[in-house]
Amino acid sequence: MSHLRPHPPFSAAGEWATAYERSAINLPNAPGSDLHPLHEFLLSISYFAAPEDEAGLREIRAQYYGMISDVDEQLGRVWNALRESGQWDNTIVIVTSDHGEQLGDHGMVQKMGWFEESFHIPLIVRDPRTSKTDGTIVDAFTEAVDVLPTLCDLIDVPIPRQCDGRTLLPFLKGEEPAEWRDAAYWEFDWRFFTAGRDGAKWPEDRRSVGHQLTVRRTEDVAYVQFADGDALVYDLATDPTWRTMLVDPERAWVEARAMLAWRAQHTDRTLTGTFLP
């Protein structure tokens, strides 16, 4: 089951449009003082730039929160129907999203850039057989690629050997998986994007190729690698808002090597594994 909302345009339905008091809405984090060229470019595009006034920022946030509450209400109807039909205790529930939302943070809306707001998504897993851990919050790094292996594990189907993700079943059982990842990664391929709105022009138009990016996010550092060789390293221990750069070349080199290792391990291999069962 898929809900389009919460998603731009920022317009919640019915009573949810006015459910949140605007004056109580927190304002987003403003852009930092030293902007990467891609960040500057995105801010120059009207449909990616957030409102500049406080009232406008509070409004889009209130509408977005209203859309979340609307989805929550609709999911509640589904859960109640499952209970009434006697299927609730035989149903696995996974709630997640395909992307986040800048919602004014760093001066942007929608899912542009490399910041965590666009890529940090919810993941709720409920299995009636592991009810003892219901409501538990897991702080370990998980990724969207973990959903398929988890589903396979939950329904007792062999996990395809080509999967990059790992099953989350140990967390559902209250256990600590062995050798779990110490970072999360995400990527954005800008080849679909041009300054115009008339569709992709790849490969004739290659202006965006240098802005393809990969992010490695650990507990205290975010390393952003661009295809043109540029890189950003954020000091999350000092500033979790992604606006303060890390001044530690040695640590930056450690993160760069870890990024290179990850890319080598997970790069697209079209034919590799084709004949695996």
Tokens 């609730």 sit at which residue? 88
pLDDT tens profile 94-147: 999 999 999 999 999 999 899 999 999 999 999 999 988 899 999 999 999 999
CA dist 66 and 110 (Å) reads: 16
Q: In this predicted structure, what is the pLDDT of residue 266?
A: 83
How is residue 40 written in tokens? 């500057």
pLDDT band at residue 260 using 50, 70 and 90 as cut-offs: very high
- All structural domains of the chain with their residue ranges: 1-88, 182-267
pLDDT score at 130: 92
Cβ atoms of 185 and 143 closer than 8 Å? yes
| Better pLDDT: 33 or 251 | 251
Question: Between 235 and 195, where is the model more confident?
Answer: 235
pTM of the complete model beyond 0.85: yes
Q: Give me the pLDDT at residue 194, please.
A: 54
Mean pLDDT, residues 69-82: 97
Lowest mean pLDDT across 37-41, 80-84, 115-119: 37-41
What is the model's pLDDT at position 276? Answer: 59
**Per-residue pLDDT reduced to its tens digit, 175-225:** 999 899 999 999 988 765 655 555 556 566 666 677 789 999 999 999 999
Residue 274 in this model has a pLDDT that exceeds 70: no
3-state secondary structure of 123: strand
Task: Please report the pLDDT score of residue 77 as a whole number.
Answer: 97
pLDDT > 90 in the chain, percent: 75
Residue 90 — very low, low, confident or very high, per pLDDT cuts 50/70/90? very high
* Helix (H), strand (E) counts: the chain: 6, 6
Produce one character per residue of 8-26: b if its CB has 16 or more CB atoms within 10 Å, e if not.
Answer: bebebeeebeeebeeeebe
Whether residue 277 is predicted with pLDDT greater than 70 in this model: the reply is: no
Average pLDDT over residues 89-93: 96
Q: Is the Cα dihedral 255, 258, 262, 264 positive or negative?
A: positive
CA atoms of 207 and 264, how far apart (whole Å): 25
Q: What is the mean pLDDT of the chain?
A: 91
Tens-place pLDDT, residues 147-183: 999 999 999 999 998 889 999 999 999 999 989 999 9
